[in-house]
Chain A
Amino acid sequence: MPSIPLRNPSPAALEKLTQIVGSDRIRTTVAELYAYAFNAGMHRAMPGAVVQPKDPSQIAAIVSLANEHDFVIIPRGSGTSLCGHTTAVAGGLMIDLQEMNRIKEIKPGDLICVVEPGVICDRLNAALKKHRFFIPGPASSEVATLGGMVASNSSGDKALKYGATRDYVLGLEAVMPTGEIARFGTRTIKNSSGYQMEKLMVGMEGTLGIITEITLRMAPLPQKTAACVASFKHLSQAGRTVADIIGTPILPVQLELMSHACIEAVNKATKLNLPPAGGMLLIACDGHPEAVRSEIELIRSICSRNEAFRVDYTEDPKRIEELWKGRKQMIPSLSALKPEFATVMLADDMAVPISKVPDAIVGFEDIERQYDILIPTYGHAGDGNLHTKVLLNPENPEHWMQAKRAVESIYDLVLKLGGTVTGEHGVAMSKAEYFKKERADSIPFMRAIKRALDPRNIMNPYKIFDWDDGFLSHLRYPVEVSK
């Protein structure tokens, strides 16, 4: 890929920006530009300026200015995206939406709420809790913004039962790449009125516009949650159990799988003393108390049928929290395996058909051995979404090359199993290369949409299908890796 020309706002454009938002809402200091170069992914690149607008009309004016002065725009929420969504590879103006954070409406009788893009998921849920509703969020819900969740169609460990962010978006308002303010979708639970444009904006990763308001449906808070932890001698038994539970059919709210290596890592790093096992399932059901008990009973018998040697069950919320602690401790526990190594966001959220989860895990372990690299696997097995965490010394180019080969093998396996390279994190830069293999047939149409809506290529350019530089480019680590 030829080097990307920078399209930063010129001094004249910055002057006009000041008139739009006021000087206190623009930053061009070294500290700010460098801080906004980074996000939770493994890529980084500095924007030319950062702005915090207050309302859609300011954003519309900024986008019009970008068209007039030919600078690019990168919308950003909390900067928790994991694949380079908000990495300013062409410089430009970063629009930080964290200050647009009003919860505008909660309408329990209509089953909807309306929020600005900068609202943090947990803050919304705290407000919804009073009405006994919630929105399922990603693991980063305490810091992730709703705008970012919509733009990346994120989801978390409750997706099996409650779905991903896309399933909650009923309508939205966005500033389009040419500066118009558009409203898509409705405030109704159902609509058959034409193209579902609001869904097109879900997962667009900031390439088709800037979301300024979101209308979401809400899910009722369950009355009761119960959980069990099942330990198996072999990982394949745990894998079979997952498929049996889903096929019954039972839809647990959470169905997490931990491999032997992960259990060992958690036990080494914490005092949880999880029973040593070849594989472990953490399962939670929620809903009406009687339904929960009956589902859990069924699940226990399925676990036993698949030769679980131990099944712990609890309805105590504190105990449930404790049981999940091991899962939550996964990242630090894995990092602690080799303190000089870092966990990097390589091949971190593939999804395969649920029945293929055991094949995928066994395959990942083979790849781990083949390339002599640490790739522990865990994940939301119930929805086929698996996390691997590649552990390497990020200053060592050889480690990166080894990891690259391993990751390529992982992606090849995932595609062979009928899966996707990303279940919940998105594409942006890190997944683009293999995404293009996975969705080769769709890309001309995606590209046509992008070109039609953003003729001047203003909005977060060079992402998804337009990223051609592999996943080892613009690394945030102090290392030079030949791609």
Chain B
Amino acid sequence: MELELKNLYDDFRNANTIKAYAKIIREDALKLPHPINIMEVCGGHTHTIMKYGILQLLPENIKFVHGPGCPVCIMPKERIDHAYVLAMQRDVILVTLGDMIKVPGSNGSLQDARSRGADVRFVYSPLDCLKIAHENPQKKVIFFAIGFETTTPMTAALLDTVAKQNKVNGEAREGALGYIKNIFFHINHVTVPEAMAALISDKECNIDAFLGPAHVSVISGSKIYEEFPQDFNKPVVVSGFEPVDVMQSISMLVKQFAEGRCALEVEYKRAVTRDGNLKAQALIEKYFEKAQNFRWRGLGDIPQSGLKLRAEFDGYNAEVIYKNILPHEPIDDHKLCICGDILKGKANPPECKIFGTACKPTSPIGSCMVSSEGACAAYYKYGNLL
């Protein structure tokens, strides 16, 4: 058989395959020594699980804990305020990915900033910054970079293009043809394993196993999860995002428990290796280093879980350049929001007092409601199936 593009879509969404895996899972679940709670770390998985009604296909003794979700959901308000403040500078064009559009900070969202006159642009790719900077030489283009490991190399690649071009054209000759002096970066890249480790080190947390996001491992390799089975006794299956991928991964986890094993396995073998994309990793390494701390909305401070530009690139770092006008006080979420408990598997979205009433996707109050990939937003959209 020859592979066709549509195989990569249709066959991994095939209803009969999903049904067959549901049956295998139900049979193996009879052998489980105890009920298991699986955390899907990534909002992409939450979305698949809710959209395809996967929870309804699983037996009683397999439960899901919906993880931190997506890079947008975990962005603390003070950093959204950074974006807002930068966008409101008269000579700034703030550029970011479309996912950031509606996320509210304490003054409003970037969409609100735009309606108040700020030049905010939502792009498909970081590379679009090059064109915007070229067409607006009098403006400063600030790329507000978001994303997990999957998206970090693309920011690094943009900076690499800019830095290389400037080197060739001589930094001393500002204004020389090809010298790009008006692209800057505000970095909000975060890393998945540190967040997982923080979650399971909480004594009250209720997680027995993880579905690891495949696209993170396409870049970083499956090796980033090796510590979890080894040191924490939590199995991990690196899973693709199509419903068949997710069902197969759940089946692999259940088999591990049924057979008394605890290992790291890869379901998404078609694009994940142990080592990942080395070229992308080298690019990240060249421009970024670990930040001491990143404050996750809903989870709080997690050491070493964020990235920042290396000091030698301060000249490109909007956080350094605009230090004096950026707010630094942490801003907590609404008192009634129980996102923290949801992320640790202690509660489900409908248990929140304001779920679906004061807090909705159009007027999100907590982090889990801000993007379609957050647990509360997914329950809101697909919850009537439950």
Do they bind each other? no
Query: Interface residues, chain B, CB within 8 Å of chain A?
Result: none
Query: Interface residues, chain A, CB within 8 Å of chain B?
Result: none
